[in-house]
């Protein structure tokens, strides 16, 4: 997993809970990386899962809620802020989400050929309903839900999203149903 996700996680932890919490998560989990990340480096995704679990335990925030909040954070603080070119053309949530595999992941692979990206399959059933299926080796479906929620907030559309786990609780596969309500 790219280091920029780790650096964003610690930015969020520091902003919400303070520097001491961020440092104590590294001490508590004792990651193989030593807790030192560069934005372009590659790191074991299990380290971020360990941090999230430890943060959940220390704050009492349920892990799914924490991962969703982090996904929303990453959408605005990383994707929108640093990769604004991805948002020049899509004018809606459905357009943006439909472009993940055909445009965004193509561009990401140009920058990071070794990136192990999740797969997103989209199906627009009606003009007001979309299905998005997430598949990954990483158990981050709740994080993906947060990214979708961040996307909805960014485009300010009245959309309700629900998630169905397709991986028997493993978090590696999920179907998201998005419905425009207005």
Q: What residues does each domain of the chain span?
A: 3-61, 91-180
What is the model's pLDDT at position 78? 85
Query: Measured between alpha carbons, how far is 67 from 140 in angstroms, rounded to an integer?
Result: 8
Digit-coded pLDDT (tens) for 16-44: 999 999 999 999 999 999 999 998 899 99
What is the model's pLDDT at position 90? 67
Q: Which residue has the tokens 């990136």?
A: 115
Within 13 Å and on the Cβ side, how many CA atoms surround 64?
Answer: 8
Q: Phi then psi for 137, rounded to 5 degrees?
A: -80, -15
Residues of the chain with pLDDT under 50: none
Query: Measured between alpha carbons, how far is 57 from 158 in angstroms, rounded to an integer?
Result: 33
Tokens, residue 122:
């989209």
Q: How far is CA 28 from CA 12, 50, 89, in A?
A: 18, 9, 43
Which CATH number fits the domain 91-180, given the four candidates 2.60.40.740, 3.10.290.10, 3.40.50.300, 3.90.1520.10?
3.90.1520.10
Tokens, residue 131:
């299905």
What is the model's pLDDT at position 79? 85
């Amino acid at each position: 997993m790219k280091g920029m996700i780790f650096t964003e996680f610690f930015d969020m932890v520091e902003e919400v809970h303070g520097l001491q919490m961020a440092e104590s998560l590294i001490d508590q989990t004792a990651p193989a990386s030593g807790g030192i990340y560069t934005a372009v480096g590659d790191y074991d995704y299990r380290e971020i899962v360990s941090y999230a679990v430890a943060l959940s335990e220390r704050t009492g925030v349920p892990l799914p809620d924490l991962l969703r909040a982090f996904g929303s954070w990453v959408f605005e603080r990383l994707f929108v802020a640093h990769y604004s070119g991805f948002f020049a053309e899509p004018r809606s949530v459905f357009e943006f989400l439909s472009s993940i595999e055909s445009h965004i992941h193509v561009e990401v692979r140009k920058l990071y050929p070794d990136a192990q990206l999740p797969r997103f399959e989209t199906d627009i059933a009606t003009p007001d309903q979309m299905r998005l299926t997430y598949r990954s080796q990483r158990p981050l479906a709740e994080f993906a839900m947060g990214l979708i929620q961040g996307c909805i907030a960014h485009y300010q559309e009245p959309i309700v999203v629900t998630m169905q786990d397709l991986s028997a609780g493993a978090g590696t596969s999920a179907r998201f149903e998005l419905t425009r309500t207005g």
